[in-house]
């Protein structure tokens, strides 16, 4: 009986935390900015950081839910020029291919150096995967839906370095938070697995 109550309490805590982290991610998504020297349709935001925190504490499904909810909320508020949330889908996929490799690598190492390596691997995988997806799906979708010229020639000179730089910026900010929150994250991860 006590075990069931403890599990139910953890589920409520997880649901509330996912909702709260999704709200924070949504707000962070609204604070986006372009980087000089890159095309004006590429924006940096730090909304993947709450998703990464959710992933580390509650597991991959929690992080995916935070990524999903923040994009749904953002789409409801801002809409999409194409009518189809191509940019939101791209943001969702980019978030997932950043947080999941980071989570799985960190889960094996569980140290600050391990987190640094995990963030490097997550950033690299995200940048490469998003370059491939932009070339094959995302940029052609904008060409078809918006009548833009073929922009696939921007993948190597703009999109790949942009995503690498975005990943480095996000990783730097996350590491500052992680250093402060590491004991807290470990504590709640331990409670969840008990």
What is the structure's pLDDT at 41? 84
| Interval 35-45: pLDDT, tens | 998 988 889 99
Question: Strands, DSSP E only, in 90-178?
Answer: none
What is the structure's pLDDT at 47? 96
User: SS in 3 state form for 35-81?
Assistant: CCCCCCCCEECCCHHHHHHHHHHHCHHHHHHHHHHHHHHHHHHHCCC
What is the structure's pLDDT at 194? 45
Give the pairing of strands 33-34 and 43-44: antiparallel
Question: Strands, DSSP E only, in the chain?
Answer: 33-34, 43-44
- Say how far residue 175 (Cα) sits from the centre of its chain: 15
Tokens of 49: 């950081």
Average pLDDT over residues 147-166: 92
Q: Does residue 142 or residue 71 have the better pLDDT? A: 71
Average pLDDT, the chain: 89
Burial of 12 (0-12, 13-18, 19+ CB in 10 A): exposed
* CA nearest neighbour of 73 among 43, 30, 17: 30
Predicted confidence band at 1 (pLDDT cuts at 50, 70, 90)? Answer: low
Share of residues in the chain with pLDDT > 90 (%): 68
* CA nearest neighbour of 32 among 46, 20, 52, 22: 46
Contact indicator for 91, 128 with CB cutoff of 8 Å:
no
Predicted confidence band at 191 (pLDDT cuts at 50, 70, 90)? Answer: low
The set of residues, in sequence order, having a beta carbon less than 8 Å from that of 42 and lying 6+ positions away, is 34, 35, 158, 159, 162
* CA nearest neighbour of 159 among 189, 114, 129: 129
Q: Does residue 172 or residue 111 have the better pLDDT? A: 172
| Interval 60-114: pLDDT, tens | 999 999 999 999 999 999 887 767 888 899 999 999 999 999 999 999 988 899 9
What is the structure's pLDDT at 146? 82
| Interval 99-126: pLDDT, tens | 999 999 999 988 899 999 999 999 999 9
Check whether 46 has a pLDDT greater than 60. Answer: yes
């Amino acid at each position: 009986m006590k075990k069931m109550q403890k599990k139910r309490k953890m589920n409520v805590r997880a649901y509330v935390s996912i909702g709260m982290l999704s709200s924070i991610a949504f707000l962070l998504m609204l604070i986006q900015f372009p980087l000089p020297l890159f095309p004006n349709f590429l924006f940096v935001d730090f909304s993947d950081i709450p998703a990464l925190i959710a992933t580390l504490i509650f597991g991959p499904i929690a992080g995916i839910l935070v990524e999903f909810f923040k994009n749904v909320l953002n789409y409801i508020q801002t809409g999409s020029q194409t009518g189809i949330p191509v940019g939101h889908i791209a943001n969702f996929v980019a978030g997932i291919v950043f947080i999941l490799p980071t989570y799985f690598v960190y889960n094996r190492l569980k140290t600050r150096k391990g987190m640094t390596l995990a963030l490097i691997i997550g950033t690299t995988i995200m940048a490469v995967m998003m370059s491939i997806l932009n070339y094959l799906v995302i940029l052609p979708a904008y060409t078809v839906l918006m009548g833009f010229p073929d922009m696939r020639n921007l993948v190597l000179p703009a999109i790949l370095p942009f995503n690498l730089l975005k990943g480095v910026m996000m990783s730097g900010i996350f590491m500052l938070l992680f250093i402060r929150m590491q004991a807290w994250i470990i504590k709640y991860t331990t409670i969840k697995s008990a």
